[in-house]
């Protein structure tokens, strides 16, 4: 048990010390800050006056539409200009918008997880360091499993930290130039569940990409494979008899888990998995791909 704990700790330290992870997290922080600063600057209630001419007739007319078309009015009609005050509320409202922000950010982080999860082991194949590690820990299946757990934990932790940062900025902006009311215990519990769901989706997506890279040995091949499968299954799923292909591929499962489609109304023939079904599917893909990768990795030469 101590050896397993030490191996996991070493993999987590390596995960968080990678420059690519520092760059991705810094880019996420910078992008979130930029977007929220723009929202903060535009957060206000604006009112404008709009006017449009209306044609009013005092008595029966003949052919008013034709007369209006040619720019002339019947003798018993006249133009009356009406005005209307249009209000545009663009204030930041963390209570109403943070849930959608979590889901939208989650989808973007799933795609980032494909790259970061694949590159975690792809870089080792490129540098040849994996064979050196096997001299100290020869149990290959154990190595594959521990690395997968490290990828999942690392990506889940980073995604949670980014979502918390976005939530804090939205709350500050809403408090200063928006609406920050209605944040009760039920709201915090709901948003914690949303962030946990997104973090799990991101972690599982990274594990799946990592497992594919263990077999493919190339980061680009693994990421391209996931994206091509998702794209191709979406096309195939347009045929009624093949809708299950669009639902049950790994890319769809991770994205559906992050988006939380249970908030939307779907009919019985929907091409989108429910939140529970997508969670089960995502977990099944991550575990299944990891087991397959461990089996293949255990039986082939590592260079």
The dihedral formed by the CA atoms of 110, 113, 118 and 121, expressed in degrees to the nearest 10: -150
DSSP state of 217: -
End-of-domain residue from the set 55, 73, 89: 89
Cα distances (angstroms) measured from residue 25 to each of 22, 269, 295: 5, 38, 32
CA distance 231 to 166: 30
Q: Is the dihedral of CA 89, 90, 92, 96 positive or negative?
A: positive
Same-domain status, 188 and 225: yes
pLDDT value for 86: 63
Residue 63, pLDDT above cutoff 70: no
Task: List the structure tokens of 206.
Answer: 């990274």
Residue 300, CB half-sphere, CA atoms under 13 Å: how many? 12
Same-domain status, 236 and 197: yes
15: in domain? yes
302: in domain? no
DSSP state of 181: -
**Maximal C-alpha separation, the chain:** 99
CA distance 16 to 162: 14
Same-domain status, 97 and 153: yes
Same-domain status, 14 and 80: no
227-242 residue pLDDT tens: 887 777 777 767 666 6
Residue 61, pLDDT above cutoff 70: no
Same-domain status, 250 and 185: yes
Expressed as residue numbers, the domain containing 74 is 45-89
pTM, to two decimals: 0.80
183-193 residue pLDDT tens: 888 999 999 99
End-of-domain residue from the set 64, 89, 114: 89
Query: pLDDT category, 273, cuts 50, 70, 90?
Result: low
Same-domain status, 49 and 37: no
Same-domain status, 207 and 60: no
CA distance 76 to 56: 9
CA distance 173 to 145: 42
Question: Is there a contact between 94 and 178 (Cβ–Cβ < 8 Å)?
Answer: yes
* Category of 63 on φ-ψ map: left (φ > 0), alpha (ψ -120 to 50) or beta: left
Same-domain status, 68 and 125: no
Domain tally, the chain: 2
pLDDT value for 206: 94
The mean of the pLDDT values for the chain is 81
Question: Is there a contact between 41 and 179 (Cβ–Cβ < 8 Å)?
Answer: no
- Of the listed ranges 122-136, 152-166, 267-281, the least confidently predicted one is 267-281
Same-domain status, 120 and 265: yes
CA distance 163 to 200: 13
pLDDT value for 223: 87
What proportion of the chain, given as a percentage, has pLDDT over 90?
39
Same-domain status, 49 and 140: no
Radius of gyration over alpha carbons of the chain, in Å?
27
Specify the residue for token string 């005005």. Answer: 83
Task: List the structure tokens of 207.
Answer: 């594990």
């Amino acid at each position: 048990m101590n050896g397993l704990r030490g191996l996991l700790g070493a993999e987590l330290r390596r995960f968080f010390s990678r420059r690519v992870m520092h760059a991705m997290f810094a880019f996420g922080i910078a992008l979130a800050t930029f977007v929220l600063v723009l929202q903060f600057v535009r957060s206000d209630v604006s009112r404008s006056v709009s006017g449009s001419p209306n044609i009013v007739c005092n008595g029966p007319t003949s052919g008013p539409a034709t007369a209006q078309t040619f720019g002339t009015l019947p003798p018993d009609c006249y133009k009356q200009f009406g005005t209307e005050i249009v209000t545009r509320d663009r204030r930041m409202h963390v209570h109403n918008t943070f849930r959608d922000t979590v889901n939208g950010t989650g989808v973007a982080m799933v795609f980032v997880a494909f790259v970061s999860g694949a590159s975690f082991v792809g870089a080792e194949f490129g540098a040849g360091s994996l064979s050196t590690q096997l001299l100290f820990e020869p149990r290959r299946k154990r190595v594959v499993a521990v690395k997968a757990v490290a990828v999942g934990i690392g990506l889940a932790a980073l995604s949670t930290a980014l979502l918390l940062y976005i939530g804090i900025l939205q709350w500050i902006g809403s408090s200063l130039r928006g609406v920050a009311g209605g944040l009760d215990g039920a709201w915090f519990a709901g948003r914690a569940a949303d962030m946990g769901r997104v973090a799990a989706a991101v972690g599982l997506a990274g594990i799946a990409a990592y497992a594919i890279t263990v077999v493919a040995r190339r980061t680009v091949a693994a990421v391209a494979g996931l994206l091509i499968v998702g794209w191709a299954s979406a096309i195939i799923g347009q045929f009624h008899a093949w809708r299950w292909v669009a639902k049950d591929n790994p890319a769809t499962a991770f994205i559906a888990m992050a988006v939380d489609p249970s908030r939307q109304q779907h009919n019985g023939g929907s091409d989108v998995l429910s939140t529970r079904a997508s969670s089960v599917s995502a977990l099944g893909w991550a575990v299944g791909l990891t087991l397959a990768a461990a089996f293949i990795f255990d039986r082939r030469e590592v260079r």
